[in-house]
Chains A and B, each alone.
Chain A
Amino acid sequence: MWNELLGAFAAVATLPNFIAMAAGIWGGVIIGAIPGMTGTMAVTLALPFTFYLPPVTSLLLLVALYKGSTYGGSISAILIKTPGTASAACTVLDGYPLAREGKGGKALNMALVSSCIGDFISNISLIFLAAPLAMFALRVGPPEYFMLMAFSLTIVASISGRSLLLGIVSACLGLLLATVGEDMYGSFRFALSEDMKSGLGVVPVLIGLFALPEMIKLAVFRPEENTQAMKLGDNRLTMSEFRGSLKSIIRGSLIGVVLGAIPGIGPSTAAFFSYSEARRTSKNGDRFGEGELEGVAASESANNGCCGATMIPLLALGVPGDVITGVMLGAFMIHGLTPGPLLFQNNIGEVYSLFIGMLFSSLFLFVAGKLTASGFAKISRIPQQVLLPCIVILCVFGIYSVASSPFDVAVLLVMGIVGFVMMVLNIPAAPFLIAFILGPMFEDNMRRSLAISRGDLGVFFQSWISWGFFALTILFVALTIRREWQKWRSTSRAAN
């Protein structure tokens, strides 16, 4: 392993890779700092450009965008009380009161330092956990994979939205859309036009679903913006302030690693969990919510602690844990790499290059944050009515450039409308996206299993691994139903 890591170090340390990582970090921070723009949007917008880059460079660019946007969300959270990304929502609680006290720069510095530490710990855990998990996954056959994917989709469906039912509806829509085109035995399904015979491209569907609905929402509802940015003020983070928050940073990073590695949970939950733990155990617990640096540290270390950890199930099992890793799965496939246990056998060089590059990107994040915090602070004031239309045009150009296909542009716009309708109906988009990407593999494993067993459904329950995933799926569904039932009962009681 150490030899491979050293080899990867040499492979990563090239100018194009450094430029990609720096561009990714800066681009991610900029996008994350703009309210309404998400990390998912940052990664999906960059996807068309990665077609023209080598696999490792393009993956490093996407990972850097992910990390940058996760940190960038804290800038607008602290300075204008509007989290740039959902994962930074918790940072508002203490970040904005600090900015009002004239300590915005201090809060940003604490967010940066804790983000970088959380990110570094997450990357280390990825390096040490992904390979053993992949080795275990080598023993997994099509029936077990089918059960694993059903389990992952169930978790994502139940956690991403407000209700399990709508989450499953969303996943079904994604799975159905993935069946459009030619199947593995050459039959055409839902080929309503000649263009649809080759199926729907991953990139137009992803970008349409995540980048366009914000523009349509702005055009339809026209919300009034009233964001007054605070000044950076006191910028210096002292050693004693850092030491006072170190325990929360380490704990937050570990919480981020554990929750990030579980498909479907993601950085927002990790940030809130870490924040509440820090509040419970800190001697300044009663100051939380009024401008406590430790609160910023706890939430930021946890949300960035998820960044590397969400890659563990993606790389080792080929199962994306959240939307961003779902997009990354698409990027891997575009470059002919298939995440999963075989990736560690067939493309070990690329895997270790990615690991090393991720460690470098933590460093880039720190440098970028230190050098340009004041510049980033201005970005959070860019008005959405100027920005969002330009993003749509960028998407249209990007999508057309991928395959020179007007059909892909039409798919992009239609998916934007679908994404907006889903947003209005409160159907979560994350299960849709992950189901759309996993759909072909999901079906492939089901059909292979049934072909092997000559149509006997018992093949899905022949090994303890299958049983384990089945039991976990049932347990998770039962817990979600119990939670929803309790919520429904308390609402009914309140109504009566």
Chain B
Amino acid sequence: MTPNRDFYTGLVATAFFAIVLFVLIPVYVRVPSFIPGFAPPPDMWPRIIAWVGLVMGVLALALAVPKMRRSTGEKVETVGAYLRANRIFTYRFVWMIVGFAVFVYLMPKIGFLTATMALLAFLFIMTGDFSKRAWMIGLTILFPIFLYVIFTEITHTPFPHGKWFSLARLLHLI
């Protein structure tokens, strides 16, 4: 753990709980005009948690600053410089998010089975190691079909067929 990471952890926590406290709770936690008895309002508990989280985030931030200054010779690395230095990791992480988002978007369009095959292929590619290429190709096709059959036959799960295309329907016909 680098001192910079301590600092960014504190920063992320502080920003997150501040957004929850000052933006999300006022907008997304509706307090009814009448509450029966002496029951506390619905926003009380989230507010307590968000305040505690905010205080802890600020404390983490405050404690990380001197440590970071000391270890980096009084120079504090900026977020931009930090991300630039770890550019390749950042790109890969963004790719993972995009991959998951595309999977969720495509699932109702191309069907659950095809989407999971595509996701599995994407994940194999993202590992960056293709020494077991034959295994990877075989598993990409067969493993989702195996799970599809197991879950359909044993738990009777109605997996969605695609609006555009359905591999499951095609397999069923075969």
Contact = CB atoms under 8 A, between A and B. Distances in A.
B135 interface: yes
B38 A454 contact: yes
Nearest to B101: A413
A222 B96 CA distance: 13
Interface residues of A, number: 67
Contacts of A166: 9, 56, 60
Interface in A399-416: 400-401, 404, 406, 409-410, 413-414, 416
Interface string A439-457: 0000100110011011100
Contacts of B148: 397
Given A386-B135, A417-B100, A447-B39, A426 B93 contact: no
Interface in B129-145: 129, 131-132, 135-136, 139, 143-144
A425 B12 contact: yes
A443 B24 CA distance: 19
B49 A222 contact: no
Given A397-B148, A455-B40, A406 B104 contact: yes
B120 interface: yes
Interface string B1-21: 100011011001100110010
B29 interface: yes
6 contacts: A187-B29, A191-B28, A386-B136, A413-B100, A417-B97, A421-B12
B60 A397 contact: no
Given A218-B127, A385-B127, A185 B24 contact: no
B22 interface: no
Interface in A182-238: 183, 185, 187-192, 215-216, 218-222
Interface of A: 51-52, 162-163, 165-166, 168-169, 172-173, 175-176, 179, 183, 185, 187-192, 215-216, 218-222, 383-386, 388-390, 392-394, 396-397, 400-401, 404, 406, 409-410, 413-414, 416-417, 420-421, 424-427, 443, 446-447, 450-451, 453-455, 488, 491, 495
Contacts of A396: 116, 119
Interface of B: 1, 5-6, 8-9, 12-13, 16-17, 20, 24, 28-32, 35-40, 42-43, 45-46, 49-50, 52-53, 56-57, 59-60, 63, 67, 70-71, 89, 92-93, 95-97, 100, 103-104, 107-108, 112, 116, 119-120, 123-124, 126-129, 131-132, 135-136, 139, 143-144, 147-148, 151, 154-155, 157-160
A172 B39 contact: no
Closest 5 pairs (CB-CB, A-B): A172-B53, A389-B123, A219-B126, A385-B127, A187-B42
A190 B24 contact: yes
Contact of B57 (A169, A188, A221, A384): A169
Most buried by B among A191, A216, A397: A397
A17 B153 CA distance: 22
Nearest to A397: B147
Contact of B96 (A172, A219, A400, A451): A219
A168 B6 CA distance: 15
Given A179-B45, A410-B104, A393 B57 contact: no
A218 B60 CA distance: 28
B129 A385 contact: yes
Contacts of B135: 386
A427 B135 CA distance: 35
B70 A168 contact: no
B45 A389 contact: no
B9 A426 contact: yes
Given A220-B92, A390-B120, A172 B49 contact: yes
Contact of A392 (B107, B112, B119): B119
A192 B27 CA distance: 10
